[in-house]
A and B are shown apart, each in its own frame.
Chain A
Amino acid sequence: AQSVTQPDIHITVSEGASLELRCNYSYGATPYLFWYVQSPGQGLQLLLKYFSGDTLVQGIKGFEAEFKRSQSSFNLRKPSVHWSDAAEYFCAVGVMEYGNKLVFGAGTILRVKS
């Protein structure tokens, strides 16, 4: 069965520091991978997506993610975190199985300290 694991429930970083959020997936076929961000009381906003090609993908708000097939990972990074990045981040894999669905991880809550 498909699954996504985000090992870190909470992460706290200082403003201006670098950030890496981990994501591991389990999926038998070629994965379509996504990172979403959710602020309190808001829906999900897409940060970036990987379908094929270059394994380093750039997204909005200065985020990037690297797909590593050998490690089944799709980690999200940002070189310098801003206070406004505090939110919950979800990694997801797109699954084509009687329709098209997203399988999400449990999320990582990012706290930014000044």
Chain B
Amino acid sequence: ETGVTQSPTHLIKTRGQQVTLRCSSQSGHNTVSWYQQALGQGPQFIFQYYREEENGRGNFPPRFSGLQFPNYSSELNVNALELDDSALYLCASSFVAGENNEQFFGPGTRLTVL
């Protein structure tokens, strides 16, 4: 069984640029969530996708957007990058969008904005 994978591992961008991060869900999972973990903080929920539709969103501006594909892989897009967007971005997949479902996390993508 393949776990959650994310690419790239590390990424350096400059302020104002756009970035796309990718996530491959664990086999059999139909829900993906994205979290932002700034240095020294716990992960913060960005949004969740269930069967290709947004199923919940945290307190992040619209320049953070996402997609989920029919094979349940996912992308996180961030436009007009700001210095504060520097963080570890974590993807988590689960079987259904339910209250008590365990979310399996990938290793993350470390984004640095200069």
A77-114 interface (Cβ within 8 A of B)? 90, 92, 94-107
In this complex, what residue of A is CB-closest to B6?
A43
Contact A90 B100 (CB under 8 A): no
B interface with A by C-beta (< 8 Å): 4, 31, 33, 35, 40-45, 47-48, 50, 55-58, 90, 92, 94, 97-108
Can you spell out 26 A-B residue pairs with CB atoms less than 8 angstroms apart?
Answer: A32-B100, A41-B107, A43-B105, A43-B108, A44-B90, A44-B105, A94-B99, A97-B56, A98-B55, A98-B57, A99-B57, A100-B31, A100-B48, A100-B55, A100-B98, A100-B99, A101-B33, A101-B45, A101-B48, A102-B43, A102-B92, A103-B45, A104-B43, A104-B44, A106-B41, A106-B42
CA distance A44 to B33 in the complex (A): 13
CA distance A34 to B90 in the complex (A): 17
Taking A43-B105, A44-B105, A102-B43 as known contacts, 20 extra A-B pairs with beta carbons closer than 8 A to each other, sorted by chain A number, are: A4-B42, A42-B107, A43-B108, A44-B43, A51-B100, A90-B42, A90-B43, A92-B42, A96-B99, A99-B47, A99-B48, A99-B50, A99-B97, A100-B56, A100-B94, A101-B58, A103-B45, A104-B44, A105-B42, A106-B41
**A26 contacts B by Cβ under 8 Å:** no
Q: How far is the CB of A110 from chain B (nearest CB, A)?
A: 15
In this complex, what residue of B is CB-closest to A6?
B42
A interface with B by C-beta (< 8 Å): 4, 32, 34, 36, 41-46, 49, 51, 90, 92, 94-107
Q: Total contacts A to B, CB within 8 angstroms? A: 74
Measured between beta carbons, the chain B residues less than 8 angstroms from A104 are: 35, 42-44
Measured between beta carbons, the chain B residues less than 8 angstroms from A46 are: 102, 104
Measured between beta carbons, the chain B residues less than 8 angstroms from A94 are: 99-100
CA distance A103 to B42 in the complex (A): 9
